Structure 1
Amino acid sequence: MSDYTPPFSISNKMLGFVSSISEKIGKISNYNDFESKPQLRKNNRIKSIYSSLAIEANSLSISEVRDVINGHIVLGPQREIQEVKNAYDAYDNLNNINPYSVTELKKYHGIMTYALVNESGKFRNGEEGVFDGDKCIFMAPPAHFVPSLTDDLFKWMNSEKNNVHPLILSSVFHYEFVFIHPFSDGNGRMARLWQTAILTKWKPIFQYIPIESQIQKYQDRYYKSISKCHIEGNSNIFIEFMLEMIDEILTEIISQTKSDIRQMNDYVKKLLDVMEFDVSYTTAKLLDKLNLKSRETFRKNYLNPALEMNLIRMTVPDKPTSRNQRYIKNNF
C-alpha cells in the first residue's frame, strides 16, 4: 500500500458545501423521481455530454449532439461526431463503472477515445501539457512517471474512500488526474466522467445531474482554479470550486422543480409528455400531438398553465401572438 496522500486540507467552506449539497440531494429526491422519467434522464445525460465536449472545443450544438445520439444524420466534422458517440457509450455505463479501478479507467478511456487516438485505452508515451485554448497552463509530469503516479492516486482513493467524503474525494481525484494527465488525449473528458462515477457510487442520482454544464458556464474559473492549485501545491482551491459548481447545479434543479408535480394538472402533464426537451413546437403541432381541435381549450388548460409554471418557454417572448412563435420544454 502506497503512503502517498494528495496534498489538500479540508476547510470550513468545503464542509459548508458538503452539508448544503447533501441537503439538496435529499430535496431533489423528494421533488423528482428521476427513475420514472426516462426522457428527463436522457436529456440530462445529453447536457453532460454536450458540455464536457464543448469544454474541449467540440463545435456541435446541443441539438446536433442530441441528433447524433438519436441516430440522425448530422452534417459536421466526423471526429466531433465520433466524440459524441464515444461519450454517450461511456456515460451510458456510469452506473456500472468501478471508479476505484485503474483497469476500469483504461477501459473507459478506450471507449471515450475509440477511433480517435492511437493510444486509446493506454497511458501516454510522450510529454503533454494542459491547455486552456492555445495557452499552456502547465507541463504534465514525464510519461515514465504516469503509471506509478496513477497507481498511487488509486491506492489512496481505495484506502480513504470510507474516510474522506465522496464529494471531497472525487474533487481531489479530478484535480490530481488532470495534474498527472495520464493519457495523450481525453484527460479532461475522463476527469469529469470519473468524478461523476465516484459520486454515482455514493448517490446514484448523480448519474442524472449535469455537473458538466455548470463547469462549462464557468470554464475560465475551472482552468484558473487548476492553475492556482499548481502554483500553491495543493488542490484546495479546486475542491472548493467543484463543490460550488455541484451546489449551484443542484440549486438550479431545485428551483425549476419546485413548481412541482403536485401543482401540475393532468393537462399540463400531458403537454409535457408529448414534448421533447430543447425542441421547438408550433401550436398546430402541439394540437396534433394532443389530438385537440380547440385552440382556446389548448391555451386555457395546457399552454398558459405550463408557461406560468416556467415549464415551457416561448421562442418570441416579446410577441406572444407572433406567427413565428414556437414553444420549448424547459430543462435543467
Structure 2
Amino acid sequence: MSSTPPYTITSKILKLSTRISEELTKLQFNKASKVNPMLRKKNRIKTLAGTLEIEGNFLGEEKITAILDGKKVLGTVKEVAEVNGAIKAYERLDEYKYDELDDLFLAHKILMGEILSSAGSFRGVNVQVGEHIAPQPSMVNDLMTNLFAWLKNSDEHMLLKSCIFHYEFEFIHPFSDGNGRIGRLWQSVILNSFNPIFSLLPTESIVRDHQEEYYKAIENSTELGESTPFIEFMLEMILQSMQKVKNDVPINVPKDVPIKRLNKIIELVIENRDITIAQLANMLEVSDKTIKRDIAKLKEQNRLTRVGSLKSGHWEIYHG
C-alpha cells in the first residue's frame, strides 16, 4: 500500500489551478493549437533547449534545430549525445505510461544511453545535490516503487500529481545522472496523459528562465518537509507557458462579434466613408477576414450598407 507524499493545498495552489483550467479551456477552443505542426516543433525545440541548458548544455535552439534536420553541428561529443538523447526521449512522450516504472527506466535509457553506462537502472552510489543528501542507494528501489504506486492509485488531480511527483523524484534522485532532465520529462508525461495539449507547452524553457527560483523551490520544499512550495512554483511555470502559447496562437473569435469593435467601425466610417477594409483591419489590428465578418454583422443589424462597388463605392450609415 502506498503512502501519500506530504503537501498542503494552499489558496495560491487553488487560484493557480483555476487559472490553468481557464487557460486550458481557451487553448482547447483554439483548434489550431492541436494541429499546427510548426508550432509543435518550435515549442518542442524550446523545451529541449530549456531542459538541457538547466544542466549546462548550451548548444541552443539553432543547433538543436539543425540536429533535428539531420545536419552536423559544432559541439563536444557529450553535448551532441545529450541533445540526441533528449530528442529521442521527448519523441516518445505519447507512448510512455505515466504510472509505469518500467517506462521511466526506458525513458532514462533513451535519454542517457549514449553517455552513461548505467542508463536505465537505479544508482548504486551515494549522491549529494547542494546541501541535500539523497536517500541511500539501498532505499531507492522501495521509494520509487512506493512513489509510482501513489501515482497510480491517488485520486489527486493530475495537475498537482505532476508537480508532487517532480519534487519527490528530485528528492530521491534515483539515478546517478540525468535526474533533472528525467524529472522534468516525467512531469510532462503526466500532464500529457491528462490532456495532450500540455505537450504543446514549452514549460521547460520557462523553468530555464527561472532556474534559480526552480532550485530554491526544491530547497524550500526540502526544508519544509513537503512539496508545497515546489507545487506553487511549477503551477506558475505551467501557467506562464500556457499564456505564452496563447500569445503565439491566435484564439478563434467567438461567434458573438465584440460590440466595441462594431461601434468603432461605425465611428471610422463616419469619419471617412471611403475607408477600405484593409485600412479598417490595420487600424483595429485584426485581419481583413475579421473586418469582413464584422461588416456582415453590421449589415444584418441594418447599421451599415455599401453603395457602389468595393473599388469605387462608399459606405452609408443607417441613422434610423
TM superposition score category, shorter chain reference: 0.7 to 0.9
Paired position in structure 2 for 1:212? 204
> Which amino acid is 2:178 matched to?
G
Give yes or no for contact 2:49–2:58 (8 Å, CA) kept in 1: no
Q: Hey, what's the Cα distance between the residues in 1 that align with 2:7 and 2:159? A: 14
Give yes or no for contact 2:86–2:111 (8 Å, CA) kept in 1: yes
Q: Hey, what's the Cα distance between the residues in 1 that align with 2:40 and 2:11? A: 33
Paired position in structure 1 for 2:146? 152
Gap runs ≥5 in structure 2? 254-277, 287-320
What per-residue deviation string (whole Å, max 9, x for no partner) do you get for residues 49-98 of structure 1? 11000000002021011111111110111111111111111111111110
TM score, norm. by length of structure 2: 0.77
- Does the alignment pair 1:197 with 2:189? yes
- Does the alignment pair 1:142 with 2:136? yes
Give yes or no for contact 1:32–1:257 (8 Å, CA) kept in 2: no
SS in 1 for 2:192: helix
What per-residue deviation string (whole Å, max 9, x for no partner) do you get for residues 234-260 of structure 1? 1000000000111111122223334x5
Q: Hey, what's the Cα distance between the residues in 1 that align with 2:105 and 2:231? A: 24
> Which amino acid is 1:118 matched to?
S
Q: Hey, what's the Cα distance between the residues in 1 that align with 2:238 and 2:32? A: 19
Q: Any residues of structure 2 matched to 1:23-42 within 5 Å, and which? A: 23-42=22-41
> Which amino acid is 1:87 matched to?
A
Q: Hey, what's the Cα distance between the residues in 1 that align with 2:213 and 2:31? A: 30
Q: Hey, what's the Cα distance between the residues in 2 that align with 1:35 and 1:23? A: 17
Give yes or no for contact 2:173–2:179 (8 Å, CA) kept in 1: yes
- Please tell me the root mean square deviation across aligned C-alpha atoms, in Å: 1.9
Q: CA deviation at 1:32?
A: 4.7
TM score, norm. by length of structure 1: 0.75
Give yes or no for contact 2:32–2:249 (8 Å, CA) kept in 1: no
Q: Hey, what's the Cα distance between the residues in 2 that align with 1:228 and 1:249? A: 23
Shift in CA distance, 124/12, structure 1 to aligned 2, threshold 3 Å: same
Gap runs ≥5 in structure 1? 131-135, 263-300, 310-332
Paired position in structure 1 for 2:102? 103
Give yes or no for contact 2:27–2:33 (8 Å, CA) kept in 1: no
Paired position in structure 1 for 2:10? 11
- Does the alignment pair 1:185 with 2:177? yes
Q: Hey, what's the Cα distance between the residues in 1 that align with 2:57 and 2:115? A: 13
> Which amino acid is 1:210 matched to?
P
Match of 1:226 among 211, 215, 218: 218
> Which amino acid is 1:107 matched to?
L
> Which amino acid is 2:147 matched to?
L
Give yes or no for contact 2:33–2:249 (8 Å, CA) kept in 1: no
* Larger Rg, first or second structure (1 or 2): 2
Paired position in structure 1 for 2:234? 242
Q: Hey, what's the Cα distance between the residues in 2 that align with 1:128 and 1:49? A: 25
Q: CA deviation at 1:33?
A: 2.1
Q: Hey, what's the Cα distance between the residues in 2 that align with 1:194 and 1:172? A: 11
Give yes or no for contact 1:67–1:73 (8 Å, CA) kept in 2: yes
